Structure 1
């Protein structure tokens, strides 16, 4: 059984932490290189592909995917990436985990969130792909006004504001105003923390219940196994004795079509179960962060912003809606 090398595990945990705080794989690679932290192979320079591999490899949560590649020629020892030619096997808890499974799944969901925003590298910082225009639904982008002068300021405005015949009515907002609004909104949740946390276990169970999908999935697996057995028997019978081929193909195609239909439905169920799991992990992570906050925020905390907030929707110069990862929507008025 593989043993954890703590010095390497520390780096892996740092990579996951930086990603969930809003850093991109490219930004993480640059940070690790500049910090003098060696790669797993002992090199000084980190590649983006190495960071992405660490963030998506199930082995860091204690699981293993067997036969990702296979030997094509045993004489030359030539190997090939397994693209379905041979069976793959997923083994849970095969070795000690470096990253909690919940953290691993949160990272996978964050990858999906960034991809849906247009690109994996959309998260230049914690604000990117999280501030949404309430007019057109597009994302806000970062701009620097009067760069290099004493009047320099960072603002955020809709990326599509000037790309349409009719401009979006939503305003630009200074970054400092956004930070202050989040501090006050989150502090209001800390004040009401006990009330918010009451009954949360029941709420999570109700909102992320996927027992129906799991039951249907188990039934599909049984039927698929039965069809596989029938098809194998049909093929063996056809090889053993002469069967009228038109009837053989009719039966074979009927079973194969039914099998494909079931597999398509199974994938849909798998997606629904994965969404339930992701939602459960997000809610638990939100609760964990909220429980940790014993005092009101005095300064903006970007890691807390990334850990708890899904989006901040800009309605007008003074009206915004904070949408937190537990599903809470908090309308907020920005003071002038």
Structure 2
């Protein structure tokens, strides 16, 4: 008996599907017009390069511009390309050079290993390296090192250019403090915000401290920013010490370290450049100078006015809950529980020397400074993960994020159309501006969803604490009242030698002191 054989014809042709799906990655380091032109040139090059290929077809051109190339998590297009790789949309990546792909050896190898596991090869044109033909990672390591050196060289050139502009007074602003709007690199007064700045100066000159001003602003529901975060002592202090408000500019307060790049406060390592009258002032020079004098006075307890000491209304008794008050005896300053002061039988907490609190605070600060990365980095990561899990089930939150992603994809499509010459520049700008306005509106809706939650406010406050400590002195050897007011909400006296420091954002740290003589 002859078997019956039925032939089932293929429903998918091999034509297009047999071609290798290629992605091209481009990047420029800044968002200047010249660099944008360079980016468009790169995009056109790759589109033309594969247009006539019989074995390869271009899936997409991924292009980052105007952002740092040293941190891959900040390159949106790069991350989008990696996601498409993981989704099986790409077989091969072409990039001009290793320095365009990754700027340190660790990142370069990490990504290449992942891509290799996914079966995706990478071709570096400048170095003529194809990972499909490489079995030994030593070559990539060497090239990654060269790329890191190249990146450092480029960064140094960029820094030199910026510092030259600082020196001759031609550098443009890249951000605006409260009270100003940024327009084409210039600071323009924002009338509503300028009134807030003026009121803060008036309150401080009237005798109010950082904490009192914060309470007044928060109770009056004065809007700090579009995130809806509360006013903190550090924010008030920043406004009261910022020369921008008298129309001047001090450049290079901070600087970036060599790789790994990290922004740190300039404590004299590099020159600073002070330029007068760079923009319109909000505060008079006379007011500003008075405020600086008053800040300096408050750094020295003996020069302070009554009830204007750093520890005022900060210390609470852990046994009876009463506030501590300041007393001066035998040429020494003490803090004593009010309940104990009026009736020692009601509370057994004895007076504590003022210096003991100062010493305990300095010890706590130095511990936090020394263990900064161990404490704050994982803490913020965990809080962010908890927040993401929480909103992962919020349908409105998810839908808004999807809509934002779709709008961003539209901007990518418009960029490709412009590059191919199908869309003129004016129309491109018009449509992208409209899309960006929609994205900003959706972001505001997201912030409204998040704003009402304590977690978001806590994250913002802890970020501010982390920033204060990161930029603070490496070793505190003398009590710093500004740092104290920026960090400490209150102190709970557990006993004569054990204090619980309550930081803004809900953090609590216990510190012991043996230096307590009454």
TM-score normalized by the length of structure 2: 0.33
Task: Name the structure, 1 or 2, with higher relative contact order (CA <8 Å, separation 6+).
Answer: 1
Higher Cα Rg, which structure: 2
Length-normalised TM-score, structure 1: 0.48
